C-alpha cells in the first residue's frame, strides 16, 4: 500500500553540506529513506525534550483509593497560588456489559469538575466542585470532565467535555463552557454545547456497536473531546480531539485526529475550520503559543504520535521534533505560568501535572518534569556548548 506521494528528485537538496550531514556518499544511489531525509525542511533540536519519571503529589491530590482524579487542566497562578481543575468521580468502572443507565461505564463517567490550589505545586488543597453535572435532561446531565482553563481580560473560562445520559457506545460527546470573574467561582454554564460532533455519519442498524456504520462521516462524526481554548491572532482557537464513527486502527494506533474551531468571542459561536483535521495523530490536546504561532504535543495515537508540531497560523502544522515515549505524561496539564521563548520553545514543559493509571478503576494526578536535550554525550564528556 502506498502511503506517500513519490519524491520529486528535482526538489532534493543535493548540496555537499546536506549529503555529508546525513552520511550519504553517493548521490547516484538514493534509497527512499535518504530521499525523505534530503526533503526535510529543517534539522534542529531546539524543540526536543526528555521527560523524567513522574512524582506523586502531596495533600489532597495524593492518590486516594476509591477516588478518580484525572485529566488536570493547565495550571494558572493567581494571588500567589497555583490553580488546577480536574475530573473527579468515585467508585469502580462497570463497563458496557450491564445497566448503562445506572452503572459507571468509564472512569470519566459520572464526573464533576473540581479544583485545587497550591503554593508550591507539590502540596495541594482540594477546594470543592467548580462545575457540577447538569440537571436530568440537560446536555451535561451524565458527566462533565476533561476540563481546560483560559484567562482573558480578567475573566476565567472553563471548557470541558459533556455527556447526556444514557452513556452507550454510540453516545455523542459534546463540549460545554463555563465562565467566572474569579478562579474560585461561581461559574455560569452555557445553556447549550459550544461544540458538537459533525452530523454526517450514519450508523448501521440499531445495535450498540460503534464500529458498524453505513457512512463514517467527518473525522469528528462521533465525539469531540479534550477541548482547549487559547487566544490567537485576535480570535479564540478551540482545539479538540475528534473521534470518527467506525473508528479504525491506523499505523498501529487508533485513528485519532485534532481539529480547531474559531470564534471572535470566548463564549462563541465557534465555527469549525474548513481545513480540519489539523493533525494526522494525537490524543489529549496540548497546545501553547510560541514563535508567533501555535505549538502542539501529539501523543499516543496515529503515525505522527510522540512528536512536537508547530504552525504559523494555528492550522497548518509541521513536525519539529520527535519525543521519546518513555515517561510520557498522559493528559498533560501545562504550567501556563511558565513561558516558552523563541530560543527555548518547549520551556513550558519544565514541570506540570498529569494523570496516571494507578489501576483501570482509579487514577490520580501527579507532577511531571522534563529537561531540554540538545546533544548526546557520554558520562563525563563535554557537551557541544562546553567545547
Q: What is the pLDDT of residues 298-327, one digit of tens each?
A: 999 999 999 999 999 999 999 999 898 889
* Residue 8: per-residue pLDDT: 61
Identify whether the C-beta of residue 304 lies closer than 8 Å to the C-beta of residue 281.
yes
Closest CA to 352 of 336, 374, 375: 336
The pLDDT tens digits of the residues spanning 88-142 come to: 999 999 999 889 899 999 999 999 999 999 999 999 999 999 999 999 999 999 9
Q: Residue 386's pLDDT is what?
A: 53
Q: Which strands, in side-by-side order, build the sheet including 318-322?
A: 287-290, 293-298, 307-311, 318-322
Which among 329, 333, 370 has a CA at the least distance from the CA of 349? 370
pLDDT at 378: 86
Beta bridge partners of 129: 114
Set out the domains of the chain in order of their start, with CATH numbers.
1-43 (no CATH), 44-372 (2.115.10.20)
How many C-beta atoms surround the C-beta of residue 254 within 10 A? Answer: 18
Q: What residues contact 309, with CB distance under 8 A and at least 6 apart?
A: 279, 295, 296, 298, 317, 318, 319, 320
Q: Please report how many Cα atoms fall inside a 13 Å half-sphere around the Cα of residue 126, on the Cβ side.
A: 18
Instruction: Tell me the Ramachandran region of residue 327: left when phi exceeds 0, alpha when psi lies from -120 to 50, beta otherwise.
Output: left
- Given a cut of 50, the residues of the chain with pLDDT beneath it are 1-5
User: What is the reported pLDDT for 43?
Assistant: 67
**How many other C-beta atoms can be found within 10 angstroms of the C-beta atom of residue 75?**
23
Q: What is the pLDDT of residue 251?
A: 84
Q: What is the pLDDT of residue 7?
A: 52
- Looking at every residue in the chain, the average pLDDT score rounds to 93
The confidence score (pLDDT) of residue 355 equals 97
Residue carrying C-alpha cell 495550571:
75
State the pLDDT at residue 379: 83
Amino acid at each position: 500500500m502506498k502511503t506517500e506521494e513519490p519524491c520529486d528528485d528535482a526538489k532534493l537538496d543535493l548540496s555537499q553540506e546536506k549529503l555529508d550531514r546525513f552520511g550519504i556518499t553517493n548521490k547516484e544511489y538514493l534509497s527512499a529513506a535518504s530521499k525523505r531525509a534530503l526533503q526535510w525542511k529543517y534539522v534542529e533540536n531546539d524543540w526536543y525534550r526528555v521527560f523524567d519519571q513522574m512524582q506523586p503529589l502531596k495533600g489532597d491530590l495524593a492518590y486516594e483509593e476509591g477516588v478518580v482524579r484525572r485529566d488536570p487542566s493547565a495550571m494558572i497562578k493567581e494571588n500567589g497560588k497555583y490553580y488546577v481543575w480536574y475530573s473527579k468521580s468515585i467508585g469502580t468502572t462497570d463497563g458496557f456489559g450491564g445497566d448503562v443507565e445506572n452503572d459507571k461505564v468509564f472512569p470519566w463517567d459520572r464526573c464533576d469538575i473540581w479544583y485545587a490550589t497550591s503554593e508550591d505545586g507539590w502540596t495541594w488543597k482540594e477546594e470543592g466542585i467548580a462545575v457540577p453535572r447538569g440537571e436530568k435532561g440537560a446536555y451535561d446531565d451524565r458527566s462533565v470532565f476533561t476540563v481546560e482553563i483560559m484567562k482573558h481580560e480578567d475573566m476565567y473560562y472553563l471548557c470541558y467535555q459533556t455527556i447526556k445520559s444514557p452513556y452507550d457506545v454510540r453516545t455523542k460527546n459534546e463540549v460545554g463552557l463555563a465562565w467566572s470573574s474569579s478562579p474560585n467561582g461561581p461559574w455560569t454554564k452555557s445553556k447549550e454545547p459550544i461544540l458538537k460532533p459533525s452530523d454526517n455519519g450514519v450508523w448501521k442498524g440499531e445495535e450498540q456497536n460503534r464500529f458498524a456504520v453505513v457512512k463514517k462521516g467527518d473525522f469528528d462524526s462521533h465525539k469531540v473531546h479534550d477541548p482547549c481554548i487559547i487566544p490567537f491572532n485576535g480570535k479564540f482557537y478551540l482545539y479538540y480531539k475528534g473521534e470518527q464513527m467506525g473508528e479504525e486502527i491506523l499505523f498501529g494506533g487508533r485513528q485519532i485526529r485534532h481539529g480547531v474551531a474559531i470564534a471572535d468571542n470566548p463564549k462563541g459561536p465557534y465555527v469549525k475550520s474548513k481545513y480540519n483535521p489539523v493533525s494526522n495523530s494525537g490524543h489529549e490536546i496540548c497546545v501553547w503559543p510560541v514563535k508567533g504561532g501555535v505549538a502542539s504535543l501529539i501523543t499516543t495515537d496515529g503515525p505522527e504520535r510522540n512528536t512536537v508540531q508547530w504552525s504559523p497560523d494555528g492550522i497548518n502544522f509541521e513536525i519539529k521534533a520527535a519525543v521519546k515515549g518513555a515517561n510520557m505524561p498522559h493528559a498533560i496539564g501545562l504550567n501556563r505560568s511558565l513561558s516558552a521563548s523563541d530560543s527555548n520553545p518547549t520551556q513550558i514543559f519544565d514541570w506540570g501535572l498529569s494523570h496516571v493509571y494507578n489501576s483501570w478503576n482509579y487514577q490520580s494526578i501527579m507532577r511531571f518534569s522534563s529537561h531540554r536535550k540538545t546533544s548526546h554525550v557520554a558520562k563525563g564528556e563535554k557537551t557541544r556548548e562546553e567545547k
